[in-house]
Copies of this chain bind each other. A is one copy, B any other.
Amino acid sequence: MTRVIGFIGLGNMGEPMVMNLLKAGFQVKVYNRTPEKTKAVVEAGAEQVNRPADAAAPGGIVITMVANDQAVEELVLGPNGFGEVLGQGGIHLSMSTIAPATSRKLAAYHQEHGSQYVASPVFGRPEAAAAQKLNILSSGSSVAKERVKSIQEALGQRVFDVGEEPESANVIKLGGNFMIMAAMEAMAEAFNLAEKNGIDRQLAAEIYASTLFNCTVYQGYGQMIANKQFEPAGFQLALGLKDCNLVLEEANSTQTPMPLAGLLHNRLLASVAKNRGNQDWAALARIALEEAGLE
């Protein structure tokens, strides 16, 4: 069994994930564009390499956990990319939130080169990553998914097999982000209705989050929306808009009308036009607040 793996991307998510891999007994070769960020994991036993290509070994496994589609593509296909190194039997375990189309493209590339691609985005914030509580989606060929399973299990609480198509896990991830945004807009409107009727927003938020909607999305974002407090950003609104655009592109190409996604897009785009791209994506609630004259 492969115990040496490459890991690229030492951001808020990547660092605790590498820590868990080390704890589980894996040897991890890490690469990050800004090398300083590897410090903590190197002290914990990871080996730093200087080029993406060096994170890979022929027939080995490389995990990517980076900011966006372009970054993933460059790590694989660009100069010093690891794509050509992997070769026969190699696996690219792609854990960033990216477009289904990007997964299709990368999967095709790997197939041409004898390697395999597993899309594996996650649900969970950095705290969940540190606590090994991520929920991990996984799509790709059965053989490849089987080989990476012990790795995924070292990173999260549960692994969901979303099928053979390379992009399926990305579709589910995007759908989840869409549903979070829908929940935020619903709370925004419901809390506004409460406030306009003289009811404390916090009280409304607490009631909903401890009865009908006692799950973390409503509990966490409910607090932000009730308090009208959208900084610091856990997940930037500009990234939420990017994901919403990906949802709508996928909806368009598969002929799936999604009017609620359209409404959310409008909220997010207006927010960016008002220079709120750096606030938490829950700040989409500010448009409803403004429309109600509550800001």
- Which of A's residues lie within 8 Å of B, judged by CB? 100, 123, 135, 137, 158, 160, 162-163, 165, 167-168, 171-172, 174-176, 178-180, 182-183, 185-187, 189-194, 196-200, 203-204, 207-208, 210-218, 245, 247-248, 250-252, 254-263, 265-266, 269-270, 272-275, 287-288, 290-293
Contacts and interface: CB of A to CB of B under 8 A. Distances in A.
B273 A291 contact: yes
A252 B266 CA distance: 9
A208 B173 CA distance: 9
Contacts of A163: 198-200, 203
Contact of A291 (B175, B254, B257): B257
Contact of A197 (B100, B160, B214): B100
Given A179-B208, A189-B256, A270-B290, 20 more contacts: A123-B212, A137-B207, A162-B199, A175-B191, A175-B204, A176-B211, A179-B213, A183-B183, A189-B258, A189-B259, A215-B215, A252-B265, A256-B269, A257-B270, A257-B273, A257-B291, A258-B266, A259-B262, A273-B291, A275-B293
A247 B256 CA distance: 19
A193 B203 CA distance: 35
B167 A197 contact: yes
A158 to B, nearest CB: 8
Contacts of A258: 189, 192-193, 266, 288
B207 A160 contact: yes
Contacts of A247: 193
Nearest to A209: B215
A100 B291 CA distance: 22
Number of copies: 4
Interface of A is mostly: helix
Nearest to A180: B212
A167 B192 CA distance: 16
A270 B254 contact: no
Residue with the greatest number of chain B CB neighbours at <10 A, chosen from A257, A262, A273: A257
A154 B175 CA distance: 41
24 contacts: A135-B210, A165-B198, A168-B199, A175-B194, A176-B212, A179-B187, A182-B183, A182-B185, A197-B250, A212-B216, A248-B248, A255-B269, A255-B273, A257-B266, A257-B270, A257-B291, A258-B288, A259-B259, A262-B262, A266-B291, A273-B293, A274-B293, A275-B293, A290-B290
B292 A273 contact: yes
A149 to B, nearest CB: 17
A171 B190 CA distance: 9
A31 to B, nearest CB: 29
